[in-house]
Structure 1
Amino acid sequence: MNAVGRHNQGNLVSPQAQTDTLEILSFLDEFSDELEDALDILAPNAHLRMVLHLLQGNFAAKTVTPTSLISASRVPYATANRRMKEMIDDGLIEMRARTRTGKSFSMHPSEKLLAQWMQLSGRLRRLAASRFGGQPETQDSRDYYFGGSYAAAQSIPPLRVLPEPLKVPGGIRVLVHGDPTFMVMDNLKRQFEQVIGSDISQRAFSIDRLREEALRNAKRDRSRYDIIAVDLPWIGEFAEKGILMPLEQVMDLSRLDPSDFHTAGWKGGHWGGRAFGVPAQTTPELLFYRRDLFAEAGLEPPATTDALLHAARTLHDPRRGRYGIGWNAARGTALGHTVLMTLADFGQPILNLPRIAGGFDTDHLAEGDYRATIDTEAGLQAAEFLMELLKYSPPDILSMSWYERVRPYAAGTIAMAYGYTLLAPYFELDESSPAYGQTGYLPHPAGPGGSPVAPVGGYVMGIPANLAPDRIPAAVEALTVFTSPEAQKLFVQNGSRTNPRYSVSSDPEVRRTSSIFEAVDGMAWRDELQFWPRPPVPEICDIIQICGEEFHDMLRGIVTPREALSQAQDRADALIRQSRTNVI
């Protein structure tokens, strides 16, 4: 682990965080300086100077006042004041009151100005490429997504400020998971505060502590949080226990444009046909593999579990400090998730879900007619596969969990790793990583009886049921902003590798940041993104824990695979029976 310790994991901010739009803004600003310095006869263009200042302030989350805007114009005060009024009258500038008296204002680019600027910036880039050279783009299958053309896709404009600031005592309070995507949101706090016109307080916890805090918060008379992040498998439990508010009670869901969300992610926020959360990050678990190492060894990307084991065996070389594969094998929650996903690789869900085209049906789980399916022939194949995988894993694999499996991959000590896309910044944004620019992305290789599947994980954002009524309108507005295409694009541009929306995946600027978005879209097109491997029944967290305990004993050699399956099945059956008894 010393190699991992030396590896720089601290900086997860994208080197491409400065977008094309910002680059062109900077270019025009400097170009204007050069023109005015070179030719004395040229007078400053007040409109252009004020537009540049206004947009730069918006993107940098800096307050722009009438005084600073006039100063940026570089023309006399009276002239600048007239030009500013012309821009306001033309609908290019929005003014938002900064004080209760309404005598002090901040200035913001309007939706009209942002849209016009996005169009202009795209034209300028294409014009520069055609006049000064650039690499022509090839047309191939990557240009299309769900019947639409990426080349024809429009860039999503930047976030615009709300017309009226949110008036809520103490600001918006958010409870989230401490992962790279939500940390990007925290890094952008100033910008989001400017957008909503209110302070934002964000608390982040590990996955188990996040659930504990959400459950603890539900017991309070009034919620301490306006919005909470909820792991997809928790939805059933949180809905049944009345922890989350059904969203249709407090908002018009059409405002969210539900059809724009990845189907699996949007369905994941529902229970009993009702929406309890809005996708904030949709992050499938994929197989990360080193393309360079595979090429050197003459290996093809594995599509089956047998091919995966062959690749792991071939690349496993402990004497040189390199191991075949990393995965979640720590006792409890981490390994429990691996068990559920490995069952899915062999074509079986953890519950007796009815088979439908493209997978298994989860729409009727709220009716309660389900049982655990662990001790089966497919379950035995999955258990034996994990035992075999153990042979080509690092020596500390049985304590390896969420981040520990990806950090050594980023450090170059592991050739493959199962990991959520949200963890990709550990190697995608670190040029010193041996995996930087050398990583391929695959769905889980399939076992006999299964098909390639990319189990969907991630978080939705919901509103606590015990939130004070006077805070609900502000929570709804903040939730809409945080999950909007504009916000999701901003997260990606600043290092996130998760995305719940089709429109964001099709954005040309987003696609340039990482090949992971193209890969995930391809999986969605092939119907490999699946929600059913972790069905969100109220008992799922305990079932995951049970599997993580029994299979850990199996991996340690304490029990056989058949014994682990039998004991996990018995405990899961007893759990579900007890749960139904408590309901009655």
Structure 2
Amino acid sequence: MGNLQNENFSRVLQRSAVAPDPAALPAALAFLESAMSELDTALEVAEPNAYLNMVVALLRAHLAGRIVTATMLIAASDVPYATARRKLQKLIDTGLIEQRARTRSGKSFSLHPTERLMANWQQFSDRIIRLSADASSSTTIDEREYYYGASYLPASQSIAPPRVLPIPLQIGGGLRVLVHGDPTFMVMENLKRQFEQIIGTNISQRAFSIDRLRTEALRNAERRFSKYDIIAVDLPWIGEFAEKGVLMPLDTCLEIDRLDPPDFHTAGWTATHWGGRPYGVPSQTTPELLFYRKDLFAEAGLAAPDTTDKLIEAARHFHNPQHGRYGIAWNAARGTALGHQFLMTCADFGQPIVNLDPIAGGFAADTAKRRDIVPTIDTPLALEACDYLLQLMAYSPPDILSMSWYERVRPYASGKIAMAYGYTLLAPYFERDPASPANGNTGYLPHPAGPNGQPLAPVGGYAMGIPANLAPERRAAAAEALIAFTSPEAQKLYVLNGSRTAPRYSVGADPEVRRISPIFEAVDAMSLRDELQYWPRPPIPQIAEIFEICGQEIHDMLRGVQTPRDALARAQSRAERALK
């Protein structure tokens, strides 16, 4: 699998190395506008170029996600109204600009660049930047980067902004989407107007917490026709949702090659499959990592912890409750949150939660064709995991037993905690806050390993899928929207607007993306080392119940209500009943 991942990543780099640089487009537009202004000043007899003025205005608005009307382009043309109207019509007739109806009456239109215009200008932009760079070849590299921007030079290949679909989606009432209320999906909500332009229809998005999202998705499956066109699915639910007919296999409604599967992190793409068929497309691959304060570790002369023993030592060193400082935070809230943490901690010690078959790099998590699955909770390795969690308790904040997904990262961001287990999607809490002591001082590691384990970055996040009971007449449009929302162009846009998840190698390799955060390069490196794994939370149909069982029994153990052995025995017994 490691060789396959390296091969896939190499293909992405090779593909991007020969493509024109689409990131040159905004730089070229700015350059042209400045150049035209200078020319008008220098040549007193110069006349406005209406075609150029209108195209530049259109492309600028398109990149910014703003709606453009004919009136706006006519105003930008800098020529008399009748002349501008005639030239605008010529741009439309020649297939460079397309009109889209804004109202049902069809009397009001918005204007959009066609694929042909975008392709022409991306090539032109790349050439103009090259010419500018060549013209300044006598200057130093630093000077050239200052004037033209290092990210726009041909050596730095970037992903283009999303393009408007050539044919607007025809879907009654607009597109309806059900998502999780996390930072990445909230970025999508903030970009709703831009994506409405891209797909050509209105978007209605509902967001729920993780437990409510699952409940709503299951309730939706009971309806005659789905209330939603696309739904977000936590990766461990894939098996349950496939078995219960909540999701349709994607190979029944679209050509899988259009998704470019090799571009996805292998673990993220594989996690969307059940019985060998894809039921979703990764919209965010967000492994749980160990966040740690590099500055504090450097001051203390401590190495980054790569084992559970070293993590405990570091937590002990930094734990100073008298001064409001604590060693570590993690998911310890009762129920689902702690259930997830316990399963991943067991994996750190080499113990899967059910009897998965061992394979190179871990365990085979797609159990669709097996009928012999049993829980493996009450084991010596799981007992070691329990002992580890009890040790963590001693160096955690006093409210640790109520900390869940977001609560564990907030005190880390405020500087009260030296380390935290957290998903990459939570990194904006400190990476985008200049006042956070963790800003610029955070290192990212896979889970430190127990004595019988290996470093792992348990894959979390969500896939986007199409409900199995979606009305037939809506499926084609839903499939096109799904492709658009999970494309490299869309994924990069999410990152530029605050997301810290990148399920595609091409997005993680994008120079603009890498400049935003070190987290992308770190996750790509973990993927290539085969540390991204989804077997710690296998997508068995009963996984949600297993989370709840473990989250209850282990919580009682952490509270001192029962011993570790009793907690494991009770969880094992309850899980066996759930799997029957």
Q: TM-score, normalised by structure 2?
A: 0.89
What's the counterpart of residue 69 of structure 2?
A: 65
CA deviation string 1:301-340 (max 9, x = no partner): 1111111111111111112211111100000000010101
What's the counterpart of residue 329 of structure 2?
A: 326
- Alignment pair present for 1:474 and 2:480: no
2:503 equivalent among 497, 500, 504: 500
What's the counterpart of residue 113 of structure 2?
A: 109
- Alignment pair present for 1:559 and 2:574: no
- Alignment pair present for 1:351 and 2:354: yes
Change (3 A) 1:525 1:30: same
CA deviation string 1:462-513 (max 9, x = no partner): 1111212222122111111111111111101100001111111122221221
Q: Is the 8 A contact 1:236 1:366 kept in 2?
A: no
Q: TM-score, normalised by structure 1?
A: 0.88
Q: CA deviation at 1:221?
A: 1.8
1:443 equivalent among 439, 442, 446: 446
Change (3 A) 1:44 1:222: same
What's the counterpart of residue 142 of structure 2?
A: 134
Q: CA deviation at 1:396?
A: 0.4
State the superposition RMSD in angstroms: 2.4
Amino acid in the other structure paired with 1:54? L
Change (3 A) 1:420 1:75: same
1:208 equivalent among 197, 208, 211: 211
CA deviation string 1:505-524 (max 9, x = no partner): 12222122111100000001
Q: CA deviation at 1:287?
A: 0.6
Judge which range, 270-279 or 197-206, deviates more. Answer: 270-279
Q: Is the 8 A contact 1:173 1:200 kept in 2?
A: yes
What's the counterpart of residue 401 of structure 2?
A: 398
What's the counterpart of residue 13 of structure 1?
A: none
SS of equivalent residue, structure 2 residue 286? strand
What's the counterpart of residue 250 of structure 1?
A: 253
Q: Is the 8 A contact 1:114 1:158 kept in 2?
A: no
Which aligned pairs between 1:20-35 and structure 2 lie closer than 5 A?
Answer: 22=26, 25-26=29-30, 28-30=32-34, 32-35=36-39
Q: Is the 8 A contact 1:366 1:537 kept in 2?
A: no
- Alignment pair present for 1:298 and 2:301: yes
1:316 equivalent among 319, 324, 328: 319
Q: Which runs of 5+ in 1 are unaligned?
A: 1-18, 138-149, 578-584
Q: Is the 8 A contact 1:20 1:509 kept in 2?
A: no
Q: CA deviation at 1:90?
A: 6.0
Change (3 A) 1:398 1:119: farther
Judge which range, 278-287 or 357-366, deviates more. Answer: 357-366
Change (3 A) 1:449 1:124: farther
Cα distance in 2 between the residues matched to 1:25 and 1:321: 52
Change (3 A) 1:522 1:244: same
What's the counterpart of residue 374 of structure 1?
A: 377
Q: Is the 8 A contact 2:367 2:540 kept in 1?
A: no
Change (3 A) 1:506 1:152: farther
Which aligned pairs between 1:216-255 and structure 2 lie closer than 5 A?
Answer: 216-255=219-258
SS of equivalent residue, structure 2 residue 53? helix
Cα distance in 2 between the residues matched to 1:100 and 1:376: 64
Cα distance in 1 between the residues matched to 2:299 and 2:548: 39
Q: Is the 8 A contact 1:336 1:549 kept in 2?
A: yes
Q: Is the 8 A contact 1:151 1:508 kept in 2?
A: no
Q: CA deviation at 1:205?
A: 0.5
Judge which range, 59-68 or 314-323, deviates more. Answer: 59-68
Amino acid in the other structure paired with 2:348? D
What's the counterpart of residue 9 of structure 1?
A: none
Cα distance in 1 between the residues matched to 2:24 and 2:426: 25
- Alignment pair present for 1:172 and 2:172: no
Q: Is the 8 A contact 2:126 2:154 kept in 1?
A: no
Which aligned pairs between 1:397-416 and structure 2 lie closer than 5 A?
Answer: 397-416=400-419
Which aligned pairs between 1:420-439 and structure 2 lie closer than 5 A?
Answer: 420-439=423-442
- Alignment pair present for 1:74 and 2:60: no
What's the counterpart of residue 536 of structure 1?
A: 539
Which aligned pairs between 1:4-23 and structure 2 lie closer than 5 A?
Answer: 22=26
- Alignment pair present for 1:550 and 2:558: no
SS of equivalent residue, structure 2 residue 110? strand
Change (3 A) 1:332 1:259: same
Change (3 A) 1:256 1:104: same
2:338 equivalent among 335, 339, 350: 335
Amino acid in the other structure paired with 2:295? D
Cα distance in 1 between the residues matched to 2:327 and 2:208: 31
Q: Is the 8 A contact 1:96 1:164 kept in 2?
A: no
Amino acid in the other structure paired with 1:134? D
SS of equivalent residue, structure 1 residue 367? coil
Q: CA deviation at 1:88?
A: 4.8
Change (3 A) 1:121 1:340: farther
Cα distance in 2 between the residues matched to 1:375 and 1:459: 29
Cα distance in 1 between the residues matched to 2:256 and 2:496: 27
What's the counterpart of residue 278 of structure 2?
A: 275
Q: CA deviation at 1:23?
A: 5.9
Q: Is the 8 A contact 2:24 2:122 kept in 1?
A: no
Cα distance in 2 between the residues matched to 1:25 and 1:326: 47
What's the counterpart of residue 515 of structure 1?
A: 518
In percent, how many aligned pairs have the same letter?
Answer: 67
Q: Is the 8 A contact 1:271 1:366 kept in 2?
A: no
